[in-house]
Amino acid sequence: MLVAVAFVMSVTIASAAPIVIKFSHVVAENTPKGQMANKFKQLVDERLSDKVQVEVFPNSQLFGDNKVLEAMILGDVQMAAPSLSKFKKYTKSLQIFDLPFLFKDMAAVEKFQQSPVGQKLLVATQKKGLIGLGYLHNGFKQLSANDVLRVPADAKGKKFRIQSSDVLAAQFEALGAMPLKKPFSEVFTLLQTKAIDGQENSWSNIYSKKFYEVQPHITESNHGVIDYFVITSTEFWMGLPDDIRVEVKKALDEAIVFGNKIAADKAISDRQKIIDSKRCTITKLTDAERQQWVDAMKPVWKQFEKEIGKEYLEAAVSSN
């Protein structure tokens, strides 16, 4: 009988153990993604504390952006929100977000993401074991460098760190520059040691990772977007009890709304903090100068149109 009681107790204890969601990301906590992940944890704690436990690992503490998706498929981490530029191995269609000068503003990005075509992209990685739970904004990218970049010719021959995207590589090659695919965690040191000349990123990433302290010039180019896919493994997600999955998704959706608001605020406030720091000059482009960047970079669309899919490209253009 004692053995039977012990067995029942151990089963009860085992089934009462909360489900753990490890949420890994590469940016600082004071960013749209960092704040979204913390909000998600807070909401789950409030609503499901005895059933689900969220552990957030910022700053590439658990996995860098080159490893996190493999780790997710292996079950070593349950959620992440990598940039849309980091899914090449899992689907070619998400490359659409890397096309230069595609979206005219963040409202157009949001419109495309929420359109039937944008929502279809959420399951584009499903066959490879990953499922998109939603999009999260960060914002438009700016170019930073050791020298002033006013026209495309200024970028010629320079080395730029890029995310692991072939579209972004083609974009810099179109300028006659040298792109280098490197993890986010290495960017500051690469810039500081002058192993590279420049990089492209959102205002919040340039501010929170102090890139502006080691890059004397930023061109306000708004030439592309950094947004995220909040992602989980299909196996983990489908294995959750239905009621828990519904509650977790609800908390996540609310956290994304919260994160998007922070993204919109930080695109303004982090830009201003960088200006106020007086550590670097901000180059604003005239319409004619901007047009030169468009003319130099836009041929990349043609190169990738087939891989991405015409349907997606047309929907994105019409979201403007």
Q: Which residues bind ligand LMR (CB under 6 A)?
A: 26-27, 65, 83, 138, 163, 184, 201, 205, 226
CB-based contact 283:219 (threshold 8 Å): yes
CB-based contact 150:218 (threshold 8 Å): no
d(CA 30, CA 172): 29
Question: 3-state SS of the chain: helix, strand, coil percent to 5?
Answer: 50, 20, 30
Nearer to ligand LMR, 150 or 273 (CB): 273
Closest approach, Cβ 10 to ligand LMR, in A, equals: 41
Nearer to ligand LMR, 27 or 218 (CB): 27
Side chain identity at residue 166, one-letter code = D
d(CA 35, CA 54): 14
Closest approach, Cβ 216 to ligand LMR, in A, equals: 19
What 8-state DSSP symbol labels residue 77? -
Nearer to ligand LMR, 64 or 216 (CB): 64
Nearer to ligand LMR, 133 or 315 (CB): 133
d(CA 82, CA 64): 10
Closest approach, Cβ 84 to ligand LMR, in A, equals: 9
Q: Which residues, in sequence order, are bridge partners of residue 227? A: 137
Nearer to ligand LMR, 142 or 205 (CB): 205
Question: Measuring CA to CA, which residue among 192, 96, 75, 79 is closest to residue 144?
Answer: 192
CB-based contact 52:18 (threshold 8 Å): yes
Q: Residue 198 to residues 79, 156, 205, 267: CA-CA distances in angstroms?
A: 30, 12, 14, 20
**Tokens representing residue 38 in the block:** 């913390």
Closest approach, Cβ 35 to ligand LMR, in A, equals: 13
Question: Measuring CA to CA, which residue among 144, 140, 270 is closest to residue 218?
Answer: 144
Nearer to ligand LMR, 102 or 226 (CB): 226
Nearer to ligand LMR, 202 or 315 (CB): 202
Report the largest interatomic distance among the alpha carbons of the chain, rounded to a whole angstrom.
Answer: 86
Closest approach, Cβ 159 to ligand LMR, in A, equals: 15
Nearer to ligand LMR, 95 or 240 (CB): 95
In terms of residues, how long is the chain?
320
Residue with smallest beta-carbon separation from ligand LMR: 83
Closest approach, Cβ 316 to ligand LMR, in A, equals: 19
Closest approach, Cβ 150 to ligand LMR, in A, equals: 23
Nearer to ligand LMR, 52 or 113 (CB): 113
Closest approach, Cβ 83 to ligand LMR, in A, equals: 3
Buried b / exposed e over 202-217, threshold 16 CB at 10 Å, is: bbbbbbbbbbbbbbeb
Closest approach, Cβ 165 to ligand LMR, in A, equals: 10
Side chain identity at residue 153, one-letter code = A
